Amino acid sequence: MNINRVTRLIKLLQALQAGAGDSPDRLAAACGVSRRTIFRDLETLKQAGVPIAFDNDSKRYALAGAHFLPPVNFTAAEALSLIALAKQLGDEGRVPFLGPARAAALKLEGNLPAQLREEMQTIARAIQFRINPYDPLTGKQEIYEQLVDSIASRRVVIIDYASLTEWETIRTRLRPYQLLFNRHSWYVVGRSSLHRGPRTFNLSRITTLEPTRQEFARPRGFSLERYLGNAWNMIPESGPDHRVHLRFAPLVAHNVAEVQWHKTQQTEFREDGALDFRAQVSGLNEIAWWILGYGDQVEVLQPAKLRRLVAARVKNMYGTYFEI
């Protein structure tokens, strides 16, 4: 059974469970097939265990008894994507704390008729997700759940945090606004009383969390997009944005151009095969580490401050391996 037929059978099931069912002609029209094909599909569903009944008075086919799924109107592509994504990302060794998503996908899959479920599983196995190396956040499940509850109830929490900025463990009252999984770990974004403004905290460095009864109101104008601004990744820096101009050598030019690294990026190939890459970023430290990953295949043209920063790190790297 191919994906087109799986799509058609799901569409037919949705039509059957809508209201009092429908006539063969209307079912055929809804699925875009002939009456002959509809009768064949109805028989396939019956053989798969779907309780289909025909009412002689109304001349309609409908599902007898409980529906195989609540009428949420999933398309086949939506159901397949949901099952594949939730099962794989929630699997052990994937994104931390998404086990419930996998359980939900298994329940959704389990409610499909046996034959259709087997076909879905076959197709889903052909889809794989590979994510970046990540922090498993061992022992942080309770902290994650407490943050979810605090965000939902709008209650302040008190956290002890092993800060890599202050280089000490700090304590702050946090108004948690948003949980975010980014690349390697889960983060919470919220207003920190210690910093008197919004900050980002890595869950792996939260050593203790105390819920409180103090309520807070999330600022109407707050959004994760606005908070991050034009940060290269996660950390927006103070001051005006920087206009960055990089030139990538032909060896890596196409690899760089294929990826949307930043929402402001603009790329242009040169006659020699090199690539000019431009972006406007909030802060230079994060993009500097990205640039260093391309070694001698990239040159910083602008701004001068970024050029000096990358040059200093290259010099320090050279000193690590060779005597200066």
> DSSP labels for 214-271?
EE----TT--HHHHHTT-SSS---SSS-EEEEEEE-HHHHHHHHTS--STT-EEEE-T
Tokens of 275: 């690539």
What is the Cα–Cα distance from 253 to 118, expressed in whole angstroms? 43
What is the Cα–Cα distance from 28 to 25, expressed in whole angstroms? 5
Q: Where in the chain is the domain with CATH 1.10.10.10?
A: 1-130
**Is residue 143 pLDDT above 60, yes or no?**
yes
Higher pLDDT, 58 or 288: 288
* Mean pLDDT value across residues 4-12: 75
What is the Cα–Cα distance from 260 to 216, expressed in whole angstroms? 36
- pLDDT tier at 322 (50, 70, 90 boundaries)? confident
Higher pLDDT, 188 or 166: 188
DSSP state of 70: -
Whole-structure pTM value: 0.68
- CA-wise closest residue to 155 among 188, 180, 186, 177: 177
**Is residue 69 pLDDT above 60, yes or no?**
no
Chain centroid, CA 97 distance in Å: 13
- CA-wise closest residue to 188 among 219, 217, 160, 147: 147
**Is residue 1 pLDDT above 50, yes or no?**
no
Q: Which CATH number fits domain 1-130: 3.40.50.740, 1.10.10.10, 1.10.580.10, 3.30.565.10?
A: 1.10.10.10
Q: How many CA atoms lie within 13 A of 267 on its CB side?
A: 16
Q: Where in the chain is the domain with CATH 2.30.30?
A: 141-224
The class of domain 242-321 in CATH terms is alpha beta
Q: In terms of DSSP bridges, do strands 206-215 and 155-163 run parallel, antiparallel, or are they unpaired?
A: antiparallel
Q: What is the pLDDT of residues 265-306, one digit of tens each?
A: 999 999 999 999 999 999 999 999 999 999 999 999 999 999
- pLDDT tier at 72 (50, 70, 90 boundaries)? low
**Is residue 41 within 8 Å of residue 31, measured between CB atoms?**
yes
Helix 3-16 to helix 114-125 angle (10° resolution) is 140
206-209 contacts, C-beta under 8 A, 24 or more apart? 206/140, 206/143, 206/159, 206/160, 206/161, 207/160, 207/161, 207/162, 207/169, 208/159, 208/160, 209/143, 209/146, 209/147, 209/157, 209/158, 209/159, 209/160
The predicted structure's pLDDT at residue 67: 47
The class of domain 141-224 in CATH terms is mainly beta
The predicted structure's pLDDT at residue 137: 86
What is the Cα–Cα distance from 187 to 233, expressed in whole angstroms? 13
Q: What is the pLDDT of residues 28-48, one digit of tens each?
A: 888 888 989 989 888 888 877
- pLDDT tier at 312 (50, 70, 90 boundaries)? very high
**Is residue 70 pLDDT above 70, yes or no?**
no
* Mean pLDDT value across residues 80-104: 70
